[in-house]
Structure 1
Amino acid sequence: MLDNFPFLNDHNLPYPDTIHPIVVHFVIAMVLFAVACDVIGYFTGNERLHEVSWWNIFIATISIFIAIIFGQFEAGLAQPYEQAQSVLSLHTLIGWSLSGILAAVTAWRYVLRRRNPKKIPFSFLGMGLVLTAVVFVQVYLGDKLVWVYGLHTVPVVEAIKEGVLR
């Protein structure tokens, strides 16, 4: 089917390289930094770190949807072969789930911020650790798609086009 799109490059993309990893690394950094700021702010009493955390988690929530849009688009163009399909499907499922979790955590954080911007409950820190764990699982799966299965790498794209991988 993708043979009908002559504008795809040797990475099977209509632009020079994948955009999903760029945006998603931004999200990963912001989520981890937000959790770290909340943990440090909680134990040191530094209220300004809670404000930093809020803005990081807020921007990360917007950015994750941009990452998902590019991820879905690039996954479709990757023509994943059979061995990679299950990992890609799990990565997609967790990605969509993570967007919902992140949106819920951000909404919770917003309510907490409106009530008392200088303090967060310990239970919110626990949710931050759960969020961090889900992010790490997602990072592992994304790394596996690139470094093990080689999606959007030139040799794998060529092998798929030549029919070596199905």
Structure 2
Amino acid sequence: MFEYLTNLNDHNLPYPDTIHPIVIHFVIAMVLFAFCCDVIGYFTRNFRLFEVSWWNMFIATIAIFVAIIFGQFEAGLAQPYEAAKSVLNTHTLIGWSLSGIIAAVTAWRYVIRARDPQRISIYYLGTGLILTAIVGLQVYLGDELVWVYGLHTVPVVEALRDGMLP
């Protein structure tokens, strides 16, 4: 299989730039926006925001799996060096966990919407707050992989190709 990947660019990718961050930022924005809509809708009694929240969570649930597929592919091509491996492994574990958590929260949101589209519980909002915190941690780890460890950046890829990083 790897013989087909011989034409990797200076980011160590078979395409121009990383796709995972593009898709995952879409997911992050949708999850955070859904939580904001739920909070505002809960306190202002603007029930139309609950519908906006539902559709954001629904699309985010689909998109996170696309992001994970590209994330796994790009992580494999990154050739992480020893210092970055623990952060990448933690990021991967939390990413897979988030896909299940987001899917479960979306399923719960669907049940709430089916029962009464004009009400959500404070427990659901609490879960949304926890989900927001987990997403924040995941964003931090992803930023660390790029901005501290430089995965898929040209200088780090060149250093790996030249054998300068263990």
Aligned to 2:146: 146
Change beyond 3 A, Cα 1:72–1:4: same
Match runs of 1:153-164 below 5 Å? 153-164=153-164
- Using the size of structure 2 for normalisation, the TM-score is 0.98
Secondary structure, aligned partner of 1:15: coil
Identity of aligned residues (%): 76
How far off its partner does 1:68 sit?
0.2
Task: Name the CA shift for 1:163/1:3 in 2 (closer, same or farther; >3 Å).
Answer: farther
Deviations 1:25-65 (A, max 9, x none): 00000000000000000000000000000000000000000
1:87 aligns with 2:98: no
Return 5+ residue gaps in structure 2 as ranges: none
| CA positional deviation for 1:127 | 0.2
Could you tell me which residue of structure 2 aligns to residue 27 of structure 1? 27
- Tell me how many residue pairs correspond in the alignment: 166
State the partner residue of 1:47: 47
* Amino acid of the structure 2 residue aligned with 1:143: D
Alpha-carbon shift at residue 7 of structure 1 (Å): 1.2
For residues 100 and 163 of structure 1, the distance between their equivalents in structure 2, rounded to whole angstroms, comes to 38
Task: Establish whether residue 18 from structure 1 lines up as the match of residue 18 from structure 2.
Answer: yes
Alignment match, 1:103: 103
How much does 1:152 deviate?
0.1
Deviation (angstroms), 1:6: 2.2
Distance between the aligned counterparts of 1:60 and 1:11, measured in 2?
A: 27
Q: TM-score, normalised by structure 1?
A: 0.98
Question: Does 1:59 find its partner at 2:53?
Answer: no
Matches of 2:163 and 2:4, distance apart in 1: 16
Letter matched to residue 78 of structure 1: A
> Is residue 70 of structure 1 aligned with residue 80 of structure 2?
no
Q: Distance in 2 between matches of 1:4 and 1:27?
A: 30
- Please tell me the root mean square deviation across aligned C-alpha atoms, in Å: 1.3
Instruction: Look up the match of 1:129.
Output: 129
